[in-house]
Structure 1
Amino acid sequence: MGAADSLTDAKSAEATVGERSASAPNALNALAAYLKDDMEACNREIVARMQSPVPLIPQLGAHLVAAGGKRLRPLLTLAAAHLCGYAAGPDRQRHIGLAACVEFIHTATLLHDDVVDESTLRRGLASANAVFGNKASVLVGDFLFARAFQLMTADGSLRVMEILSSASATIAEGEVLQMATQNDLSTPIEKYLEVIHGKTAALFAAACRVGAVVAARPDAEEQALEDFGTNLGMAFQLVDDALDYAADQQVLGKTVGDDMREGKITLPVLAAYQAADEEGRAFWQRVIEEGEQTDADLPHALDLIAKTDSINITLARAKRYAEDAVAALSVFPDTPVRKLLIDTAFYTVNRVH
């Protein structure tokens, strides 16, 4: 889970994050377009598996589908399978079901997270718990986890089940660890990185690795895709945490400053706290550790974060993880899907939502 300072083996072949940033905004659209047929099949699988004789389940499912989303994790499964030479065919559909499985795991965790965080917005719309209530969100989240395990079972591979079930457990551990570090400004940066590895990067890694498994590729390629996913996930979450203090709320699709209101320990806050003077530290202790906040506190927090350059510190670390993600792909031949995955790494650190 390291973040090297250079692209190592891939440096001579690929441009740096900064040099490729111009192509970043359209990277996910380009990847989705390249995988259009597979993604449509995955979406059909998702909709079909959302069906239930219990009306509330498809109703809440329709709300989630309407809210949209990047579908990045299932895209990674499909792209990894293609990178490993496993293209769709009449008898080659495993990656479709597993991509849907990955999305169900992710969506289940989002439903539970919004309840824990008492969130009211998700992707710019009212969150499921705000519309349907906390009880329904928790129970439908449980339903989606169960559907995910049904899809794993249907795939028939113990190796796939091991990877995805382990990731599911790691996600839960990451969320519990985040809760344990909440409101604690003495949290070491290494512990924060452990949190985001658990809550985000583990599923990115699993989503990529199963693409190599279905293609029956050697361990070295499995590991390369896991490394790519891990580093991409770390970069993604670091940028997410930066955006909570730096984004346009309408573009972001959630309330800016939610992390501060919830007392979450993220790198922008840790960097600002560690660089602050006595007055600044007292401010962060009041709003984060003691949870005493007023309407004037978010603007002041944003000012302190700007003065300590905490957003750029966070994004610089994210870029190093993105560079490590690109380097991991050096074991694969230069193909269109490899280029699209590289562009996705650049998109991750240049996105605005």
Structure 2
Amino acid sequence: MSLDDASTKPHDRLGAYLARDMEAVNVLIRTRMASEHAPRIPEVTAHLVEAGGKRLRPMLTLAAARMMGYQGPYHVHLAATVEFIHTATLLHDDVVDESRQRRGRPTANLLWDNKSSVLVGDYLFSRSFQLMVETGSLRVLDILANASATIAEGEVLQLTAAQDLRTDERIYLQVVRGKTAALFSAATEVGGVIAGASDDQVSALFTYGDALGVAFQMVDDLLDYGGAAAVIGKNVGDDFRERKLTLPVIRAVAHANAAERAFWERVIEKGDQREGDLEEAMRLLARHGALEATRAEALAWSAKARDALTRLPQHELNDMLADLADYVVARVR
């Protein structure tokens, strides 16, 4: 499957189907990210918001609401809320990770400073809560507030787990469900809630978002050891250089002999990385089938996402969301 063929990109088809709603979301985002007293806020926010991201998370909210027959205005508020939460976490993540590139462009903390990134991220979190309150739904507020807390919890857990070789797949999944899947599942869940979907349908939407988010993150972790920079928006090997213990490395460490474990302890735990270490890491990942195993796990989560959609109404959007679940993992075929 070619990444250059627009007809093969479900998120593009999803964007075309939801174009009118997405334009309303973009107008609302631009309006709410403005600041009368602090012009740096829209400067920093616009750098990331206008950077050409796919806006996948807000599209999931819109798609869930439309698929469940919603005709009101508040799916737009919720989609903007989800994008603000996502943007806030990216601003904070880049400070924590000391990142220099995001979506192929210099990060906000590099162009401005860490203080600006943290404070503008805080501003966007505050704006997101203003937006979700406007829907008048306590259930929506509960879902998105819990998701925000879960995201922060996942990031803190990653701080302690990322460079500890004792981190296993259970902890890894907990981190992924926190820092990535929590917002995917909240995005789809609130779309169903605002549309008045049944409890079983809302549960199915949650399961779809959760499984899609897990698959999405696993593929990103996989692409770090072999994807094109244009596809992943960062340089190959960034996770290795940042000493992140992602699933491919966890799988390789689990099968390592004494010499191989000593290598991982040096480069991941101690941070003593030398020329040729990334190539050696790639060799060990290949030797133990870690990349293939990670891809198989991502495929299983993608299948779980597709299965959840069978509990939802037949709809054009249902088919697009199913294709999206396939596409997420097709990036590494």
TM-score, length basis structure 1 = 0.90
Answer yes or no: is 1:45 the counterpart of 2:28: yes
Q: Distance in 1 between matches of 2:152 and 2:42?
A: 25
Q: Give the partner amino acid of 1:277.
A: N
- 5+ residue gaps, structure 2, are none
Answer yes or no: is 1:83 the counterpart of 2:67: yes
Residues 6 and 12 in structure 2, CA contact (< 8 A), matched pair in contact too:
no
| Structure 2 partner of 1:5 | none
Counting only pairs closer than 5 Å after superposition, residues 179-328 of structure 1 correspond to structure 2 as 179-328=159-308
Q: Distance in 2 between matches of 1:55 and 1:297?
A: 44
| Structure 2 partner of 1:123 | 103
Between the aligned residues of both structures, percent identity stands at 54
1:78-132 per-residue CA deviation (whole Å, 9 max, x = no partner) reads 0000111114xxxx11000100000000110010000000000000000111111
1:291-338 per-residue CA deviation (whole Å, 9 max, x = no partner) reads 100132112112221222211111110110110111111112221110
Q: Distance in 2 between matches of 1:227 and 1:281?
A: 36
Classify the secondary structure of the residue corresponding to 1:212. helix
| Structure 2 partner of 1:57 | 41
Q: CA deviation at 1:254?
A: 0.6
Which structure is higher in RCO with an 8 Å CA cutoff and minimum separation 6? Answer: 1
Q: CA deviation at 1:250?
A: 3.7
Residues 60 and 188 in structure 2, CA contact (< 8 A), matched pair in contact too:
yes
Q: Give the partner amino acid of 2:93.
A: D
Q: CA deviation at 1:273?
A: 1.4
| Structure 2 partner of 1:14 | none
| Structure 2 partner of 1:349 | 329
Answer yes or no: is 1:150 the counterpart of 2:130: yes
Q: 2:84 aligns with which of 104, 108, 112?
A: 104
Q: CA deviation at 1:263?
A: 1.8
Answer yes or no: is 1:334 the counterpart of 2:314: yes
- 5+ residue gaps, structure 1, are 1-17
Residues 162 and 246 in structure 2, CA contact (< 8 A), matched pair in contact too:
no
Q: Distance in 1 between matches of 2:89 and 2:205?
A: 23
| Structure 2 partner of 1:160 | 140
Q: Give the partner amino acid of 1:345.
A: A
Q: Give the partner amino acid of 1:257.
A: G
Answer yes or no: is 1:67 the counterpart of 2:39: no
Residues 68 and 313 in structure 2, CA contact (< 8 A), matched pair in contact too:
no
Q: Give the partner amino acid of 1:128.
A: A
Q: CA deviation at 1:65?
A: 2.6
Answer yes or no: is 1:33 the counterpart of 2:10: no
Range moving further from structure 2, 159-168 or 279-288:
279-288
| Structure 2 partner of 1:173 | 153
Q: 1:133 aligns with which of 95, 99, 113?
A: 113
- Count of paired positions: 328
Q: Distance in 1 between matches of 2:67 and 2:221?
A: 30
Q: Distance in 2 between matches of 1:118 and 1:346?
A: 32
1:245-275 per-residue CA deviation (whole Å, 9 max, x = no partner) reads 1112243221221212222111010111122
Structure-2 change in CA distance of 1:23 and 1:323 (3 Å): farther
Residues 11 and 324 in structure 2, CA contact (< 8 A), matched pair in contact too:
yes
1:171-197 per-residue CA deviation (whole Å, 9 max, x = no partner) reads 000000111112111112111101100
| Structure 2 partner of 1:12 | none
TM-score, length basis structure 2 = 0.95
Q: CA deviation at 1:49?
A: 0.8
Q: Give the partner amino acid of 2:47.
A: H
Q: Give the partner amino acid of 2:57.
A: R
Q: Distance in 1 between matches of 2:285 and 2:6?
A: 28
RMSD: 1.5
Q: Distance in 1 between matches of 2:275 and 2:94?
A: 22
Q: Distance in 1 between matches of 2:231 and 2:206?
A: 30
Residues 184 and 210 in structure 2, CA contact (< 8 A), matched pair in contact too:
yes
Q: Distance in 2 between matches of 1:147 and 1:282?
A: 47
Q: Give the partner amino acid of 1:109.
A: T
Residues 84 and 212 in structure 1, CA contact (< 8 A), matched pair in contact too:
yes
